[in-house]
Chain A
Amino acid sequence: MAGVSPLPAGVAERPRGPKSFDLFSAVAELRWRLLVNSLRTIRGRLELVSRVFVGFSVTMLALGGAVFLVPLSYLATAQDHPDYLAIALWIIFAFWQLYPVLGSLASVPFEFATLLRFPMTFSTYWWLAFFYGLIEPVCLVSLLWLGAMLLGIGVASPALLPGAALALLGFAILNLLLSRAVYLWLERWLAQRKTREVLGLVFLFLIVGIQFITPVAMRLERHRAGARVSLTSIANIATFFPPGLASFSLQQFHAGDILPGLYACAALGAYSALLAMLLNRRLRAQFLGENLSEAAAPVVVRGGEKVREGWDLRGLSGPIAAIFEKETRYLLRSGPVLFMFVMPIVILVLFRLNPAASGASRGFLSHLSDWAFPVGCAYALLMLTNIVYNSFGGDGSGLQFFLIAPVPMRDVLLAKNISHTTVLAINIALVYIATSFLYSPPRADILLITLAALLFAFPLNLAAGNLMSVYSPKRHDLATFGRQRASAATGFVGMFVQIFVVGVSALVIFGAYHFGQVWLAGVAFLPLAAGTFLVYWIILNKSARAALDRREVLVAEICRVSADATASGRAS
């Protein structure tokens, strides 16, 4: 064949893998082609603009941090306060380790193990994984900051430079290994649905736990002696963590105690060795071809399984009841959605823990017992907009079924809205119980105004939500935390609707205050509610027509399965 020369004699008998450098450059070129090819779509171009913006921000952050760290390290060393360097080391540690974790939860990561189909040795694969971590922006920024610290220390005390370089190098290697190990283990857990969901739940509970730190700390503040003891214990424990060890090492070198400083560096080395082993274990499992399939194993068929009948919902037609049941099952099986529903209660508990809520101080929080119910309800409504504004997002390929089923799209949207309304009603009941338990039962006038305001606000949100679900759909895995953002258009419209609702509500309530009859606001909301319900009804029909007109866009967006997701078996 023209252009293809025959292989030299002997080559066929002795096949060789490519050189490591060729593999590194091939991977770099692959990433570059992925980026270039992504620019073919508007979404890809917008993504690039956003990346450029983020890249610029990260560069500014990196340079700003470096400019700040040089004099800080200089002053800490020159003024005999090397212990202050611990703060910088802890910040760098947190940034280096947490940023990639948040990043991998917020985006679909590159499937590193897909490279294994190519001929490479384990050592090449290991170093590829290591160097891949080295060129991550977060690593480059952190290395720049550590370099800035070394510069500041070196200028302040040139004699300290070798020791500081050793401690900071050990710290950097440890961080690099840790971030790679964390990334690859996360990748492993995120590859399977069940572990992914558990991880997401843990992550969200962690975030909620963090919310409780401030109120708990404020409560501890009342018992200052106890707090001081706790802080000392925390400081002692912190010494055994990598930033604490690096800081301890720097302090010892600064004090001229070389041996303890070297011991601390050795401890960093031991940590690194341990992490290298963990990384090795993960990479070895990948290299040997682990099976992360979640498909059911063949089982002996028992047969004759009795299938339970669908829910009996009087007053709803068969298809609407079926969609209602399906929606409810979906919501109940979604960790993030359930989490969203308990968030209003969490907020009420958080406010309750605040010492100001007990009436010790003046201002908003001292009136919490009055505001708790409306605030909880408003929060519940806001949380629900995440689903209402993208109501087809969680259907995945099932969306096609709505298009082939003999059910008008209007009924599909209506059924979804009925389930959303039910969820809101249940959530409001929970907020009422929580308010009564944590504070006191809401006053009759506040109860009336809040419920009437919801009757006004919710149909408007449903109407806008139906339109945005059709005009700006976005695939959304209801079981996965993070990793998915609503479309910018949806966010903008949602914000506009909330501003309108808050504006009108404020006018109505202040008007009622002006006349000295607060309960009048509740009455005034009722005609407004009738108006928004009419708007909802009109838009429901329009949205249904638009859904059919735009079925290709809906299917393309919602039923889309990315190549990455398919490769990792994440398609649902």
Chain B
Amino acid sequence: MSAPAIATENLTRRFGQLLAVDHVNLSVAPGQFFGFLGPNGAGKSTTIKMLTGLLAPSEGRITILGTDLVADPVTVKRQIGVVPEGLALFGRLTGSEYLNFVGRMYGLDRKTAAQRAAELLDFMQLSDRPKALVTDYSHGMQKKLAMAAAVIHGPKILFLDEPFEGVDAIASGTLKAMLQRMIAHGATIFLTSHVLEIVERLCSHVAIIHQGRLVAQGSIDELRSGVEARVAGVGAGDGDAGARPHEKLTLEQIFLEIVGGARLTGQELTWLA
């Protein structure tokens, strides 16, 4: 079995008294489309920030493609692409200037950077306003530009923090097609998203973090089997998963069962129309 593309050992992050990420041991194999899920405030963004070098871990080790991130960050960063939470855009450059800049920062020569920038702008349908500054782009356009910047150097691993948030259906389709193409070519993709339907459709493997701890990790089928076995163990009709016996559990049902969110749906606001 080949070495994992992404591996963490006891990855921990504290913010004062708060333990945001608590001894997380992740393992993502090369070529996997990996979804990293969790409720709000579970530690998803903190983890992805640590994996991409935006945040220093308080404890633990991160290995990307066999290289220790803390010991040799430049080697690791050369091989990864990142769309962080804040998109990391320079607002007062045009889209093409920004992509050119990013390409050269990743070591591409001027000609290649310009060529790829043109292709990416075209692919992402961003080439219609070449003189517009990034700051004047809509949120969806900024997201597409950030995605273009993350792949301009052909990374082996792509980290995406909520890539489909605020993106329309057309752009979303374009992005998904690009990501699946990357997977087909052997890249590894690690994404966080709150849209579980998208994760279920795209990802082969998922991990669920809850209150800073990794509570589940594996293929979606493995997680489904685990939850189904647990529900069966509790007794028919007592479980929260809510699926009929002949139906497969959806990722949303699996997620709610694991993090315990299903119980909340019983509450009602009687005064609400």
Contacts and interface: CB of A to CB of B under 8 A. Distances in A.
A321 interface: yes
B138 A404 contact: no
B107 interface: yes
Contacts of B111: 309
Contact of A310 (B106, B110, B149, B269): B110
A6 interface: yes
Contacts of A405: 77, 102, 105-106
A405 B53 CA distance: 9
Interface string B92-104: 1100110111101
* Residue from A300, A305, A394 having most chain B Cβ neighbours under 10 A: A305
A383 to B, nearest CB: 20
Contacts of A325: 101
B80 to A, nearest CB: 8
B83 to A, nearest CB: 10
A407 B87 CA distance: 18
A323 B133 CA distance: 17
B54 A551 contact: yes
Interface string A313-356: 00000110111011001100110000000000000000000000
A8 interface: no
Interface in B109-137: 109-111, 113-115, 117-118, 121-122, 125, 127-130, 132-133, 135-137
Contact of B121 (A299, A307, A310): A307
A303 B121 CA distance: 8
Given A193-B136, A312-B110, A406-B74, A397 B89 contact: yes
Given A296-B137, A400-B88, A551 B55 contact: yes
Contacts of A318: 104-105, 107-110
Nearest to A558: B86
B92 A478 contact: yes
B82 interface: yes
B127 A302 contact: yes
B136 A305 contact: no
Contacts of A34: none
B271 A403 contact: no
Contacts of A193: 135-136
A310 B99 contact: no
A555 interface: yes
A296 B93 CA distance: 15
Given A330-B92, A396-B91, A307 B136 contact: no
A7 interface: yes
Contacts of A407: 74, 105
B273 to A, nearest CB: 8
B67 to A, nearest CB: 12
Nearest to B52: A404
Given A296-B129, A301-B127, A401-B88, A6 B74 contact: no
A305 B121 contact: yes
B141 interface: yes
A552 B56 CA distance: 8
Interface core residue of A318, A399, A404 (most chain B CB under 10 Å): A404
Contacts of B77: 404-406
Given A307-B118, A307-B121, A397 B87 contact: yes
Contacts of B113: 309-310
B163 interface: no
A307 B100 contact: yes
Given A305-B130, A307-B118, A309-B110, A404 B91 contact: no
Contacts of B149: 401
A551 B74 CA distance: 16
Nearest to B77: A406
Interface residues of B, number: 62
B78 interface: yes
A315 to B, nearest CB: 15
Given A1-B271, A295-B138, A329 B54 contact: no
Given A300-B128, A301-B127, A308-B96, A326 B52 contact: no
A319 B104 contact: yes
A6 B141 CA distance: 46
A4 B55 contact: no
Contacts of B139: 295
Nearest to A1: B270
A465 B101 CA distance: 24
Contacts of B269: 1
Interface in A524-572: 548-549, 551-552, 555, 559, 572
B271 A321 contact: no
A187 interface: no
A479 interface: yes
A336 to B, nearest CB: 12
B268 interface: yes
A322 B107 CA distance: 10
A103 interface: no
A514 B67 CA distance: 63
B193 to A, nearest CB: 19
Contacts of B271: 1, 4, 6-7
Nearest to A333: B92
A396 B52 CA distance: 19
Given A6-B271, A296-B136, A406-B106, A479 B92 contact: yes
A109 interface: no
Nearest to A407: B105
Given A334-B92, A405-B106, A305 B118 contact: yes
B30 interface: no
B84 interface: yes
Nearest to A308: B114
Contacts of B270: 1, 4
A401 B90 contact: yes
A89 B122 CA distance: 62
B97 A329 contact: yes
A138 B121 CA distance: 51
A548 B108 CA distance: 24
A294 interface: yes
A307 B89 CA distance: 18
A516 to B, nearest CB: 52
B52 to A, nearest CB: 5
A325 B98 CA distance: 11
A542 B175 CA distance: 40
Interface in A394-438: 394-401, 403-408
Contact of A551 (B56, B86, B96, B101): B56
Interface in A439-494: 478-479
28 contacts: A1-B269, A6-B271, A7-B271, A193-B136, A294-B135, A296-B137, A299-B128, A304-B118, A307-B99, A307-B100, A307-B118, A308-B96, A309-B111, A321-B104, A329-B93, A330-B92, A334-B92, A394-B92, A396-B89, A401-B149, A403-B54, A404-B77, A406-B73, A406-B76, A406-B78, A407-B74, A549-B56, A555-B54
Given A1-B268, A397-B86, A397-B88, 20 more contacts: A1-B270, A296-B136, A301-B127, A304-B118, A304-B122, A305-B96, A307-B115, A309-B110, A318-B109, A325-B101, A329-B92, A329-B97, A397-B91, A400-B54, A400-B84, A401-B102, A404-B77, A404-B84, A404-B88, A559-B86
